[in-house]
A and B are shown apart, each in its own frame.
Chain A
């Protein structure tokens, strides 16, 4: 057994200040992610998926529990350490294309590097390499409003990957895409997962998206209820298994 790239132990999150109306969105979550693994988190709307992802990706702080990435505890990171960690170790892709509409695709992708004051000589080849891999090399000079949803999501993926992060987080990244673009993006995730050996954590409520993962954790009422492994199954079979599982799980 290798050392996991990410460990999550006894994670709790309660919304609302003590004394006011409180809501416990996460009630103790435990799991690990191995290096290079493609993990899905599935659950109905309101089950706590986004809440969990925000804790894992340092976007919010848990009420209790710990998350480590590369053996480094991350829940207490603050200020510059936190910013550095975000810039170097992780990348995100959200449903609503996290691109700056004031900058071209190239500038958007390069942003994490310029933030680290990487020399512009090194930036150009790095951006071009990742853009070529993701099939958006020809759109580098376009502004986000000149791109389709699928292209935007690929630019966002390129931006997330430019710093060669250890983990890539996606919160319903296909949520705003048509089925063809969604399929292309998921194929791309599989490709970068294999070629770059980057670990991916994908949050989704959609069984089709989930079927691209190697392992799926089902979350319900703030707890992980069940786990499915794809193993050697074809994707179509795995998809069927997920659907069957959902039927019983949601009851």
Chain B
């Protein structure tokens, strides 16, 4: 009988359950995605040149577990807020507490476990989908990447089942220990927003000090090593929490005093926000941290991606060299529309490759010269034979030779000396396209053609700009992939976290908006009030998150050759777009719950 009653409650609110359910699915899917990389030791080893990567992932896993904990407690309070009234009523009509406890326990576990299983399936699909997408669009080479990884699935299942057992226990205790009447009228009690200047000043100072320590630790990672990352995580989360706690109250009271704070429903919105301060500050500091991690990961990933052609361009002025090009190869070169092209004759023995000095005087060879290693600044210089033979950038010509002669030094001879050499004469064609990145496909085809005669190419001895590109890309692919993949996962997590926290308040808000309607607030005014309130909750952690990222990128000065800050607008823009999307979804659902 009671089970039947519980089911009707379930049916009446299937829409809210759908929100809850999809949120839990999202969360477990994301956790699985993360674990699919983090528990795949082979993958981590093979795809990163950074020895710390394993430990970074372990930190990430701990962090994500904590976040999941918080997330589930929010999702659970959302569930509880939906069910309190129903269960209160059952108790009033005389249902036994034991029976109700059983029901709650069962309901929580059922919702949780089924969501987790669907989540793992979705996570597998997402891992495969996002993985494919990134690999294809970014031209990545990954080893041992697997979208299904059993240890990851087990870890996800264990964590979630464990957490839901706890959540069920928690629900059981709250619901059965609270008197029925209280359940029926369980509205949050307001926190009177108070200014406590001394306490808030201490909080601000403490917060600033903690955040400063965190920023310092990130900038001095070389000194602190792994402890630096742990230190930064702890201090920044705590510092952000103190700052939010101190500044939020003050900010709301300040805004209320402005005349704009009194117009329309603004006063109502500010009251709503300060009413929920205590609830929100914890979540906001976590969201700010997640925001920073997600944005940081994406920025770093894209930074590695942007760095690849830079490094390739700095390595050579020519895309490739072809020795004794046959007709097909010549056609392929012509198809690439080279902007720079030269052909040199040579004869070669074991010790050296002999070129005609006069040919280099007529068609000087262009070298690229680094002006500063850290900033990847370089300029190009065309050198004639005399200068070239003395230049330490002569290796750039060597790399354009066939794979077996990459280490054989070029020698420039006069016409007479050259004529005396008994070896067969050969011909080296070198060329550069206008834009390496735009011609990757054509260059790949040419490399395949060359490989038929020059087996060494298969081992990566390709030479030239394209060869460097392949080399660097192989080196960075793993990092790039992890950065983007984790960024997307963290973003999804943070947005769902925020969404749930906000939506779990929607139920309590419903009667407030009904009242506003009765008092004469227009539909538009009510919509805008919701939009503003939620915008504040999205924007605040966003701003703080951006600041964290800007400082956090200091860490990557160690690993990245170009400045981690260059081209930063692109990931920020993409991120802002995704974040906006989440905001729009959230207000949409909120409107539907509150204004129906």
Identify the A interface with B (CB < 8 A): 59, 79-80, 83-88, 92, 98-103, 107, 110-112, 114-115, 117, 119-120, 123, 143, 145, 159
CB neighbours of B518 from chain A (8 A): 59, 86, 92, 98
Q: Which of B212-268 contact A (CB under 8 A)?
A: 259, 262-268
User: In the complex the two chains form, is A100's CB within 8 Å of B264's CB?
Assistant: no
Residues of chain B with a CB closer than 8 A to A143's CB: 190, 192
List of B residues within 8 angstroms of A110 by Cβ: 267
Q: A92 — which chain B residues lie within 8 A by C-beta?
A: 518
B114 within 8 A of A: no
- Taking a contact as CB atoms under 8 Å apart, the answer to whether A101 and B523 are in contact is no
18 contacts between A and B (CB under 8 A): A59-B518, A79-B522, A80-B524, A84-B520, A84-B522, A88-B520, A98-B519, A102-B190, A102-B272, A102-B274, A103-B271, A111-B268, A111-B516, A114-B264, A115-B264, A115-B519, A143-B190, A159-B519
Taken together as a complex, chains A and B put the C-alpha atoms of A102 and B269 apart, in Å, by: 9
Residue B154 interfacial (CB < 8 Å): no
Q: Are B523 and A83 in contact, CB atoms less than 8 angstroms apart?
A: yes
Chain A residue at minimum C-beta to C-beta distance from B257: A120
Contact in complex: A87, B263 (CB < 8 Å): no
Contacts of A114 in B (CB 8 A): 262-267
Q: Tell whether A120 pairs with B264 under 8 Å between CB atoms, given A84-B520, A102-B512.
A: no
- The minimal Cβ–Cβ distance linking B502 to chain A, given in whole angstroms, is 15
- Bound complex: CA A100 to CA B517 (Å): 12
Residue numbers of B with Cβ under 8 A of A are 187, 189-190, 192, 259, 262-268, 271-272, 274-275, 512, 515-525
Q: Most chain-A CB neighbours within 10 Å: which of B275, B518, B523?
A: B518
Is A87 within 8 A of B519, CB to CB?
yes
Could you tell me if A145 and B525 are in contact, using CB atoms closer than 8 angstroms?
no
Known: A87-B519, A111-B267, A123-B262. 13 other contacts (CB 8 A): A79-B522, A83-B522, A84-B520, A86-B519, A100-B271, A101-B190, A102-B275, A114-B263, A114-B265, A115-B519, A115-B525, A117-B264, A143-B192
Collect the chain B residues with CB atoms within 8 Å of residue A88's CB.
520
Task: Tally A-B pairs: CB < 8 A.
Answer: 78
B515-A98 in contact (CB<8A) = yes
Which residues of A lie under 8 Å from residue B520 when comparing CB positions? 83-88, 112, 115
A74 CB to nearest chain B CB (Å) = 13
Nearest first, the 4 closest Cβ-Cβ pairs linking A and B are A87-B520, A86-B520, A102-B275, A83-B522
Chain A proximity of B414: nearest CB distance (Å): 92
Shortest A203–chain B CB gap in Å is: 15
Report which of A84, A100, A107, A120 forms a contact with B259, defined as CB distance below 8 A: A120
- List, in ascending order, chain B residues with CB within 8 A of A80's CB: 522-524
Alpha-carbon separation in the docked complex, A39 to B309 (Å):
84
Cα(A142)–Cα(B428), bound, Å: 89
How far, in angstroms, from A79 to B259 measured CA to CA in the complex?
Answer: 27
Chain B residue, CB-CB nearest to A100: B512
List of A residues within 8 angstroms of B521 by Cβ: 83, 87, 115
A107–B518 alpha-carbon span in the complex (Å):
16
Closest Cβ–Cβ distance, residue A176 to chain B (whole Å)? 12
Inter-chain CA distance A114–B268, complex, in Å, is: 10
Within the complex, the shortest CB–CB distance from A165 to chain B, in Å, comes to 10
User: Would you give the shortest CB distance from A78 to chain B, in whole angstroms?
Assistant: 10
Q: In the complex the two chains form, is A103's CB within 8 Å of B187's CB? A: no
Q: How far is the CA of A67 from the CA of B47 in the complex (A)?
A: 76
Query: Chain B contacts of A103 at CB under 8 A?
Result: 267-268, 271
Task: Given A114-B263, A117-B263, A143-B190, decide whether A100 and B522 contact each other with a Cβ distance below 8 A.
Answer: no
Closest residue on chain B to residue A101 by CB atoms: B190
* Residue in B265, B274, B519, B522 with the greatest tally of chain A CB atoms within 10 Å: B519
A59 to B523, CA, bound (A): 14
B189 with A145: CB separation less than 8 A: yes
From residue A158, how far is it (CB to closest CB) to chain B in Å? 13
A107 to B271, Cβ gap below 8 A? yes
Contact A107 B267 (CB under 8 A): yes
Q: Smallest distance from the beta carbon of A85 to chain B beta carbons, Å?
A: 7
A102 to chain B, nearest CB (A): 4
Contacts of A59 in B (CB 8 A): 518
* Contact in complex: B262, A111 (CB < 8 Å): no
Given A87-B520, A145-B189, residue A100 in contact with residue B267 (CB < 8 A): no
Residues in chain B near residue A107, CB distance under 8 A: 267-268, 271
Rounded to whole angstroms, the CA-CA distance of A83 and B521 in the bound complex is: 6
Complex: A107 Cα to B257 Cα, angstroms: 12
Give the docked Cα–Cα distance between A100 and B275 (Å): 11
Closest to B512 in A: A100
How far is B272's CA from A107's CA once the two chains are assembled, in angstroms?
A: 12
Q: A87: which B residues are within 8 A, CB to CB?
A: 519-521
B185 CB to nearest A CB, Å:
10
Hey, which chain A residues are within 8 Å of B274, CB to CB?
Answer: 102
CA distance A119 to B263 in the complex (A): 8
A91 to B352, CA, bound (A): 101
Closest Cβ neighbor of A57 among chain B residues: B518
Cα A123 to Cα B259 with chains together (Å): 12
Nearest-neighbour CB distance to chain B for A124, whole angstroms, equals 10
Question: For the complex, what is the distance from the CA of A186 to the CA of B406, rounded to whole Å?
Answer: 102
**Nearest chain A residue, comparing its CB with the CB of B522:** A83
Contact across chains for B187 and A101 when beta carbons are under 8 A apart: yes
